[in-house]
Amino acid sequence: MSRFRSLVCRYLFPRSLRARVAFLVLGAVLFSHTVTMIMIDRYQERYVDPVKYDLIITALHTLQAAVTHIPPDERADFVHRASHGQWYLWNRQLPADVQLHPQAGMPGTLSRTVNASPQLEAFVERVNASLGDGTLVAASQGQAARLYISLSQVPSQSGTNTDWLVVPLDRLDPPLAAHIIVIWLLSLSGVLMLAGWFSWHISRPMTRLAEAADQLAAGKPSRVEPSGPDETRLLGERFNAMLDALAESDAVRRTLLAGLPHDLKGPLSRMWLRIEMSSDTTFCEGMRKDLHDMQHMVGQFLDFVRGSDPTAYRPMSLDIRNWLQEYTQHWQNSGLDITLHDPLNAPVRLRLDDSALRRLLDNLVSNAMHHGKPPIRITLQADARHAYIILDDHGPGIPMERRQEALRPFLRLDDARTRTGNVGLGLALADTIARAHHGRLKLDDAPSGGLRVRVSIPRSLSDEQTDSDSSSD
């Protein structure tokens, strides 16, 4: 039962807030209309119809009594004037569609089947019961229903040679006019449009906030304009306050990270000078190694500060195939066992910051050199939407449960990183640079058993657009 209920809620009930609000408003309007119509129908059946029928019966009694005192040749004109042209006399044989209604005590020859609406049947029976003095009552069928009442008491049972008072019944229960249906449909459409606007007015601030949250997750925070009801307006204000707090915290972090390396440059330079002036060879070799590690840490801090500031990027059009060939050749010339696998036959142009891309790959190659094992293999792949730079090493890799942890800044997975002068910023900086270019960095297992780092960068510009941009520059 619970599974069936969950399936019904999932596929039949609206899932978005906008659709649910519109559905709620429309459902409430339809429910109120239905209840109102039922109440009006019950009120008319219990209070309005009895009064209406009693007034008609009283008028029939009065007119029937008055007609008996008027000469026969003046009766038709009298009935016409007394009823304002609505009623008239019939002094011929009843039409074929007219059916007589029997009264209690009358012979059964007048009992015929009546095929009329329930309201008409009830009214005819009410009139027939009230005129219990031998007066015949007949009713016609069809759209133009009419009531026939004999003016003479105890007329012939066949209804011939009798004057009949004809009362049209179309005004007693008028049909539902087409324009009423059109007005009802138009009003319902207006309510539906109002419900749509109302739900859009409520959900639009939430949609903007969700878009702003996505941009914040992508590393491009943007403020939202508080709007809508008080609750969504307050939520937008709180979101902007959170952005301000994050921006202030990030500014403080950048200031600390940028100031610390510059403050350390002076003492490091003085230490290098004292080492050169010292005559203790063993002491100097140890100090040189320590100073190299410290300078490497300072360089990591500076690279992280530069890479985490997207406003400092200067994107340009790059043919990533030629760029990777030159980059790999540079490392090969330095003696590193690194190869480039490029199965593509066409240029792959991207808009990237050259220095940021170089800093990203330097960190990945450095991470593979210190924590993995050569050879290092770089592979370039591309599809219609993204370009992929894949780097594989032959080291021990990173366990799957710790890969997300490895992308956090200042987090070292083992003690070896401390001994090599690393502060846990290599992969974090590479991930930050990839996100700044609307890309993504993912850690996986390499076929060789080591670590695979997959960097995906969207191809935001087509080749023709990029070529035109470069030519215009």
Tokens read off for 404: 């997300």
The ranges assigned to domains in the chain are 17-168, 182-307, 313-472
DSSP 362: H
Residue 386 phi, psi dihedral angles, 5° rounding: -135, 155
- Poorest-confidence range of 59-63, 253-257, 447-451, 469-473? 469-473
pLDDT surpasses 50 at 468: no
- Poorest-confidence range of 99-103, 164-168, 423-427? 99-103
Round to whole Å and give the CA distance between 467 and 473: 10
pLDDT band at 378 (very low <50, low <70, confident <90, very high): very high
Length of the chain: 473
pLDDT surpasses 70 at 244: yes
Closest-CA residue to 315 (of 131, 439, 161, 441): 439
Closest-CA residue to 148 (of 108, 110, 107, 109): 110
Q: What is the pLDDT of residues 139-192, one digit of tens each?
A: 776 667 788 887 765 455 555 556 788 888 776 666 666 777 888 888 888 888
Mean pLDDT of 382-399: 89
Quote the pLDDT of residue 250.
Answer: 72
Select the highest-mean-pLDDT range: 110-114, 193-197, 364-368. 364-368
The residue to which tokens 């969950």 are assigned: 6
**DSSP 3-state of 321:** helix
Residue 195, judged by CB atoms within 10 A of its CB (0-12, 13-18, 19+), counts as: buried
**DSSP 3-state of 433:** helix
Tokens read off for 20: 């649910």
Closest-CA residue to 330 (of 380, 298, 365, 368): 365
Round to whole Å and give the CA distance between 470 and 383: 22
Quote the pLDDT of residue 463.
Answer: 43
Closest-CA residue to 303 (of 263, 360, 352): 360
> Percentages helix, strand, coil for the chain, rounded to the nearest 5?
55, 15, 30
Tokens read off for 47: 């209070």
Q: What is the pLDDT of residues 127-137, one digit of tens each?
A: 777 776 667 77
Closest-CA residue to 423 (of 437, 410, 435, 436): 410
Round to whole Å and give the CA distance between 312 and 302: 13
Q: Do the bridges between strand 376-382 and strand 338-341 make them parallel or antiparallel, or are there none, so unpaired?
A: parallel
313-472 is classed CATH 2.60.120.10: no
